[in-house]
Chains A and B, each alone.
Chain A
Amino acid sequence: MATKALTLYDTTIGKKAVMAASGIILLGFTLGHLSGNLKAYAGPTEFNEYARWLRTMPALLWGARLALIFAFSAHIYSAFSLWRRNKSARPNRYQKKVDLATDYAAKTMYLSGPILLFYVLFHLVHLTFGGQLFGDGTIFGIEGYTWEASNPYNNLVHGFQHWPIVIPYVLGNLALGVHLFHGIWSMFQSIGANHPRYNQYRRDLAIMLAALLTIGNLSFPIAVMAGYLEPTTLRFNFPELL
């Protein structure tokens, strides 16, 4: 049989493997991000100190950011390329089609993915670049929501007192949960990690991690709105965060 000079990325399977590998990087980030944010429950000083600490290692911070940008790009580009191919593989749809195995999460990956992308951009503009966007010192022009460069804790907590911040956050995190429910299971399949002894746990792991991240992330707006997390009057002076 003729063997063609084939590279991994030429194949649909290779592209799915790239989606799985970049997905693992992005999943790792969301887990690290949540565990860092949980410091909000330890109090404003711990939370802000953690934020400052992240900025004390610019090489590591930018290394991580570059890795994430790369993973995002690879994930999105591969998804788009596969999507285009899959559309052209069946241009004429069925009049009637019954789904026997697939689920809501799997069918809406092309919806939850773009929602997540827009949410991540919104989130970056909000809490990474928020202070610099509007000249008047407010975030998204929301009255009374002022950017405090040395106090990320207040930027977080104040934000969840405003619906224009809470609604995209909740939608983004629900999309994250749905996306991961299929994505985590799917990546085992894509990289060929299957074994009769462990296969049953792949879905369990997907449910566990998707639930952990969604519930963990959604706990912040709930805690703020329930009054459990309150803005601090403490003043911080962290030049690293400027």
Chain B
Amino acid sequence: MKTKTIKLHVWRQSGPNDAGRFETYTAENVTEHMSFLEMLDDLNEKLIADGKDPIAFDHDCREGICGMCSMVINGYAHGPDERTTTCQIHMRHVFDRGWDEVWIEPWRATSFPIRKDLIVDRTALDKIIQAGGYISIRTGSARDANEAPIPKPIADRAFDAATCIGCGACVAACPNASASLFTAAKVGHLALLPQGQAERMSRVKSMVATMDELGFGGCTNHGECEKACPKGISIDFIASMNRDLLKSLVVDRGDAEAPDEGA
């Protein structure tokens, strides 16, 4: 079993108002079988034993499906492996790259204020969902499977969008800290399915307006988000969201003909 000593530069910040700084640690006896987070757990054990403040980082399922673990590792959101969350990075992947020195930073975005060290507040993504990432019609009791005919390619495409785990890697990797890929995925999976049609135009307007209000940047079509996304969600969904938004604001008659809500 290969073991190694790794030098870590970790972003430490005691709270939202602290300026924050990098601190250097030495992780000893790191084995190739440890996950990246286990390597940090091990280091934290030592920090605690030494009476020091352990490094705070987000994590939950450690199975790559919850979207909690969030850190930029040597410049890669969720680490260097494609379609992989931080918790699924193992130290052998780090060894394979010959990294003896690793920089660990939190997601950096105005809309993701840092709570402590590597933990950021991603409530902004929840607010985008609350603005329309759901279907508000009464669906009644469960219907028979396949009662609503949906062609397989459409169902697959909707599923591709729905695989978004809301981790925020797209925002972290985007040069503009834009949440376009996240919003596009949430708009997209509902826009593709029959249940989502009734509110399709109002949904995209509301979610995009909220995304902008929360201070995320705009999309400048670099494609970094798609590469950083642990689920490999395509920027095609951003184009589809753009088309739906333009349609909703330019040609859709819905709101213009609806009675005034205040009246």
Contact = CB atoms under 8 A, between A and B. Distances in A.
A105 to B, nearest CB: 10
Contacts of A185: 221
Interface of B: 9, 22, 72, 74-76, 80, 103, 105, 108-111, 131-132, 136, 173, 175-178, 199, 202-203, 205-206, 208-209, 211-212, 215-224, 226-228, 235-236, 238-246, 249-250, 255
A235 interface: no
A81 to B, nearest CB: 9
Contacts of B208: 11-13
Interface string A1-44: 11110111011111111000000000000000000000000000
Most buried by B among A1, A96, A186, A196: A1
A100 B218 contact: no
A97 B80 CA distance: 11
B231 to A, nearest CB: 15
B117 to A, nearest CB: 14
A89 B176 contact: yes
A196 B80 CA distance: 28
6 contacts: A8-B250, A16-B219, A94-B105, A192-B241, A192-B244, A194-B243
Contacts of A58: none
A13 B108 CA distance: 22
Overall SS of chain B's interface = mixed
B205 A16 contact: no
Interface string A148-192: 000000000000000000000000000000000010011011111
A89 B240 CA distance: 23
A96 B103 CA distance: 7
Contact of B205 (A4, A89, A188): A4
Given A89-B215, A189-B239, A4 B105 contact: no
Given A7-B249, A89-B109, A98 B218 contact: no
B206 A4 contact: yes
Nearest to A183: B221
A3 B207 CA distance: 10
A192 B205 CA distance: 15
Given A1-B136, A85-B218, A95 B224 contact: no
A107 interface: yes
Contact of A101 (B105, B223, B246, B250): B223
Contacts of A98: 74-76, 80
A196 to B, nearest CB: 8
Contacts, number: 159
A197 interface: no
Nearest to B201: A3
A232 interface: no
Contacts of A93: 108
Given A1-B199, A1-B202, A191-B242, 11 more contacts: A8-B246, A8-B249, A11-B245, A16-B219, A17-B242, A89-B178, A94-B72, A96-B105, A98-B76, A101-B226, A191-B243
Nearest to B11: A95
Given A95-B22, A100-B224, A13 B205 contact: no
A91 interface: yes
A189 B136 contact: no
Most buried by A among B110, B227, B246, B255: B246
A109 B220 contact: yes
Nearest to A202: B239
Contacts of A182: 221
Given A4-B209, A89-B110, A97-B72, A191 B246 contact: yes
B156 to A, nearest CB: 12
Contacts of B242: 13, 16-17, 189-192
Contact of B224 (A102, A188, A196): A102
Contacts of B206: 1-4
Contacts of B74: 96, 98
A143 interface: no
B159 to A, nearest CB: 16
A186 B218 CA distance: 13
